[in-house]
Amino acid sequence: MSEHGHAQSGVLYGMAIDLDRCTGCTACSVACQAENNISFLPDESNKVRSITWMEIYWLHNGKDYPDYRFTYLPRPCMHCNAPHHSPCTFVCPVNATRRDETNGIVSHIYPRCIGCRYCMVACPYHARKFNWWDPSWPKPMEAMLSPEVSTRMRGVVEKCTFCHHRLLAARAKAYLDGKDPNSVAYMPACGDACPTKAIAFGNLMDPNSEVAKLAKDPRAFRILERLHTEPKVYYLSKHQWVRNQADRGL
């Protein structure tokens, strides 16, 4: 049992994003889009229907020049580690979304999802997206879809999986190499693509992992910690006004 009251192994994948390094280039978002076969709409002007697993928020301190400051905040799914259940997992009426207690990844079973969108309502981070249309890609892109990731049909919810398919590949490779599949390290596509290495990923329960060290950094904070969602995505910034974006009333 973990300190959060649910069964847990020695692996708990998490992410740390250094906002002071982020240039807002959106490479993470683009890499995620390509890696996970995220479809495009013919008209992307309606941003509240656009599918993006790694959304980039633009934050500013609300002051005028010369005190004006801004930063970018990439937001994947937080894979919340809240006691017993994530906000989204326990509300799903058909068990289509669940948290794997062996690694902490919150996954979504697309062929089982009935599209009730209760999980979207439950998520305060807007990390879940609904397929309002049949998935489609511009002509040459269809040939470049990744065979590792299933595409999603119309009428179901989808979200960041921490590139779960990469974990499976890493586990398979470890097995073939005669290593322990349960202690593999891998990097999601967003982290691989980041030119400034602002994204660290790994096992939060391994005290020697970079992500575990960053999570304990004095600059680290999590979004909406006061709601007890226990997000596994940590942000880092030396600026107090950025850290104040974590919760209301702080």
Of the candidate spans 7-15, 90-98, 161-169, 181-189, the one that interacts with other proteins by CB under 8 A turns out to be 90-98
Residue showing tokens 């779960």: 164
State the Cα–Cα distance between residues 128 and 238, nearest whole angstrom: 29
Look at strands 199-203 and 220-221 and give their pairing. Answer: unpaired
The answer to whether 236 touches 220, Cβ cutoff 8 Å, is yes
| 187 in contact with other proteins (CB under 8 A) | no
| 81 in contact with other proteins (CB under 8 A) | no
Please report which helix (H) or strand (E) contains residue 131, including its range.
none
| 92 in contact with other proteins (CB under 8 A) | yes
Please report which helix (H) or strand (E) contains residue 164, including its range.
helix 164-176
- Chosen residue from 121, 142, 146, 182 binding other proteins by CB under 8 A: 121
The answer to whether 236 touches 217, Cβ cutoff 8 Å, is yes
| 224 in contact with other proteins (CB under 8 A) | yes
- Chosen residue from 40, 72, 90, 137 binding other proteins by CB under 8 A: 90
The answer to whether 77 touches 53, Cβ cutoff 8 Å, is yes
| 229 in contact with other proteins (CB under 8 A) | yes
State the Cα–Cα distance between residues 19 and 244, nearest whole angstrom: 13
Nearer to other proteins, 78 or 184 (CB): 78
Residue 170: CB minimum distance to other proteins, A: 29
| 248 in contact with other proteins (CB under 8 A) | yes
Residue 63: DSSP 8-state = P
Using alpha carbons only, what angle is made at residue 184 by residues 180 and 186, rounded to the nearest 5 degrees? 160
State the Cα–Cα distance between residues 64 and 68, nearest whole angstrom: 5
Binding mask 3-42 for other proteins (x = CB under 8 A): ----------------------------------------
- Chosen residue from 4, 63, 69, 154 binding other proteins by CB under 8 A: 154
Nearer to other proteins, 172 or 250 (CB): 250
- Chosen residue from 23, 44, 57, 182 binding other proteins by CB under 8 A: 57
- Chosen residue from 2, 150, 151, 244 binding other proteins by CB under 8 A: 244
Q: 86: which residues sit within 8 A by CB, 6+ positions away?
A: 79, 80, 99, 106, 229
- Chosen residue from 79, 129, 164, 165 binding other proteins by CB under 8 A: 129
Residue showing tokens 């009426």: 93
Nearer to other proteins, 2 or 50 (CB): 50
Number of helical (H) and strand (E) elements in the chain, helices listed first:
6, 10
| 141 in contact with other proteins (CB under 8 A) | no
Residues lying near other proteins in the complex (CB under 8 A) are found at 46, 48-49, 57, 59, 73, 80, 82, 85, 87, 90-96, 112-118, 120-126, 128-134, 153-157, 223-224, 226-229, 244-250
